[in-house]
Structure 1
Amino acid sequence: MGKKYLESVKLIDKNTLYTPAEALELSVKTSKAKFDETIECHVRLGVDPRHADQQVRGAVVLPHGTGKSLRVLVFARGEKAKEAEAAGADFVGADELVQKIQGENWFDYDVVVATPDMMGVVGRLGRVLGPKGLMPNPKSGTVTFDVAKAISEIKAGKVEYRLDKNAIIHCSIGKASFGAEKLVENFHTLMEAIIKAKPAAAKGQYVKSVSVASTMGPGAKINPVKVLEG
């Protein structure tokens, strides 16, 4: 562990459950890298991801964005391709993009959007895009005929959240340079979306634990009862 990390650890009490505002203030304070660190939120849910009816997945536009400029690739043809280009998509195409991805192992993009009629084509990339979390999905709003809206939201700071195999959601909520106040607003927006997405099959305590941390810093635990409070 580096000297800066060890100094940061001293600022956070591992046995304390903080309010979101306190935890995010600490995340900003313990962000000591020379670059603008990303603030990550980690939420453990009381669901079993092995069951299809207990999956939690969706997307939400953070009020202050993520601080990252995302490159959007759109699979579309005809008028929808023109709409995507006009809306600011970084790459637009159809079969030729599939060939480029398969043949050149090309991944110079962050989000993939597709019109529903293109999913037969995009489906051939499932084994390639799936493991990287890039496969378009209706639940995250990336399979849609309204490509202009999808691109606009992604560019404005839309983030996707989904469970991993350990029933934990890992999601970026901004940069340390945002300051605690903006990060708190982004945090609340994300948590509201996750709570609304609670599966009907989920029993018992839904939000088990929540923590936030900068890219290189230690985590601060948030009291699950306080997730929608200041």
Structure 2
Amino acid sequence: MPKHGKKYTEIVKKIDRQARYDFDKAIEISLSSSFAKFDETVDVAVKLGVDPRHADQMVRGTVVLPNGLGKEVKVLVFAKGEKEKEALDAGADFIANDEIVEKIKAGWFGFDRAIATPDMMGTVGKLGRVLGPRGLMPNAKTGTVTFEVARAIDELKAGKIDFRVEKAGIVHAPVGKASFGVEKLVENIRAFINKVVALKPAASKGTYVQGITVSTTMGPGIKIDPLLIK
């Protein structure tokens, strides 16, 4: 069992960990439980009634959070010619030229997300072993393998996240910073959950959204009543 610090233990004593709240109240409690000296990230975890071992019950998607993530997202783009210029004009932080590719092979990862045009996937494929384990591999399913480079960059910079259900049937995602306040965080959470609900597999039987928990980086999980999901 992991050991928690004194501050965490004291906060947990004041919280009913079994109670289920509405969105606003859950966020209020979660933020009031934040004790770190930095601006903590707020995360949401949703337990789904699916079995990810079956391909027809896989839940995977993307969503642009209305209020962003509250941090600068550095984007690397694999492109050439006109698309390279389009990427730079759209605000790309790095273009994966030969020098950058060699730096990545050597262990450099000074970027948060990567985009590639389809004609550059041959180059990207050679980096699969280093990009894949870090979740940095461009993927057509998440919109990061595309000729619409400017649009992809704009979405990532605006707070686009991608998510995928884990083996235990849980899908989780960051939804902003504690400094956002209740209203903005609730808007982001609703956008995320609405997207998850819209992706409900036809093969999923019974209750789809079985539980929702919100937490800050250092704080305890606060449960949201799943019956509020319509």
In the TM superposition, what are the counterparts of 1:206-221 in structure 2 within 5 Å? Answer: 206-221=208-223
Extract structure 1 runs of 4+ deviating beyond 4 A: none
Quote the residue 1:28 is aligned against.
31
For each residue in 1:182-207, what CA deviation from the matched residue of structure 2 results, as whole angstroms up to 9, or x when unmatched?
10000000001111112222222211
Quote the residue 1:155 is aligned against.
157
- The yes-or-no answer on 1:56 pairing with 2:32 is no
Match of 1:85 among 88, 108, 123: 88
What is the letter of the counterpart of residue 76 of structure 2? L
Instruction: State how far apart, in whole Å, the 2-side matches of 1:198 and 1:189 are.
Output: 15
Quote the residue 2:135 is aligned against.
133
For each residue in 1:3-47, what CA deviation from the matched residue of structure 2 results, as whole angstroms up to 9, or x when unmatched?
321232133211211111111111111111111110010112111
Which runs of no fewer than 5 residues in structure 1 stay unpaired? Answer: none
Instruction: State how far apart, in whole Å, the 2-side matches of 1:205 and 1:226 are.
Output: 13
Quote the residue 2:73 is aligned against.
70
Instruction: State how far apart, in whole Å, the 2-side matches of 1:202 and 1:213 are.
Output: 27
Distance 1:19 1:115, change over 3 A: same
Match of 1:180 among 179, 182, 186: 182
- The yes-or-no answer on 1:97 pairing with 2:100 is yes
Quote the residue 1:165 is aligned against.
167
Instruction: State how far apart, in whole Å, the 1-side matches of 2:13 and 2:28 are.
Output: 15
Which runs of no fewer than 5 residues in structure 2 stay unpaired? Answer: none
Taking only aligned residues, the RMSD between alpha carbons, in angstroms, comes to 1.5
Instruction: State how far apart, in whole Å, the 1-side matches of 2:198 and 2:150 are.
Output: 25
For each residue in 1:139-195, what CA deviation from the matched residue of structure 2 results, as whole angstroms up to 9, or x when unmatched?
211111111011111111111111222221121001111111110000000001111
TM score, norm. by length of structure 2: 0.93
Distance 1:227 1:8, change over 3 A: farther
Q: Calculate percent identity across the aligned residue pairs.
A: 59
Distance 1:218 1:169, change over 3 A: same
TM score, norm. by length of structure 1: 0.93
Task: Report how many aligned residue pairs link the two structures.
Answer: 227
Instruction: State how far apart, in whole Å, the 1-side matches of 2:78 and 2:110 are.
Output: 15
Match of 1:7 among 10, 35, 55: 10
Instruction: State how far apart, in whole Å, the 2-side matches of 1:120 and 1:144 are.
Output: 14
For each residue in 1:109-156, what CA deviation from the matched residue of structure 2 results, as whole angstroms up to 9, or x when unmatched?
110111112122212222222221111112211111111011111111
Instruction: State how far apart, in whole Å, the 2-side matches of 1:206 and 1:225 are.
Output: 11
Match of 2:43 among 40, 43, 52: 40
Instruction: State how far apart, in whole Å, the 2-side matches of 1:65 and 1:11 are.
Output: 31
Instruction: State how far apart, in whole Å, the 2-side matches of 1:127 and 1:206 are.
Output: 35
